[in-house]
Amino acid sequence: MSLFADAATALSFAYPIGLGLAALGAALGLGRAVGSAMEAMGRQPEAIGKISIQMIIGAAFIEALAIYALISIFLAK
């Protein structure tokens, strides 16, 4: 006898775990990106404009991945 009776039960366990891992990965990636950008701005104040633009673009991509994980739950149900 398997742990999960059917596919719906397996999905109900897998989606929250997957979403949590996606949120954790996005948070760690975003924190590292912003931290590195702040360090770079401190070392080269004359490049703050270029660094902050690149940081914002990167943060948008990271957040988009987390939003895709959230949306997948609504599409699967």
Backbone angles phi, psi at 35, to 5 degrees: -60, -45
Indicate the residue type of 22.
A
Predicted pLDDT at 32 = 95
Q: Which residues contact 61 (CB under 8 A, 6 or more apart)?
A: none
DSSP 5: S
Asked if 72 contacts 39 with a C-beta cutoff of 8 angstroms, the reply is: no
User: What are the pLDDT tens digits along the chain (77 aa)?
Assistant: 566 678 778 878 888 898 889 889 999 999 999 999 999 999 999 999 999 999 999 999 999 988 998 888 788 76
Count the Cβ atoms, other than its own, within 10 Å of residue 62: 19
CATH number of 9-76: 1.20.20.10
Task: Tell me the pTM.
Answer: 0.74
Predicted pLDDT at 13 = 84
Q: Where are the domains of the chain?
A: 9-76
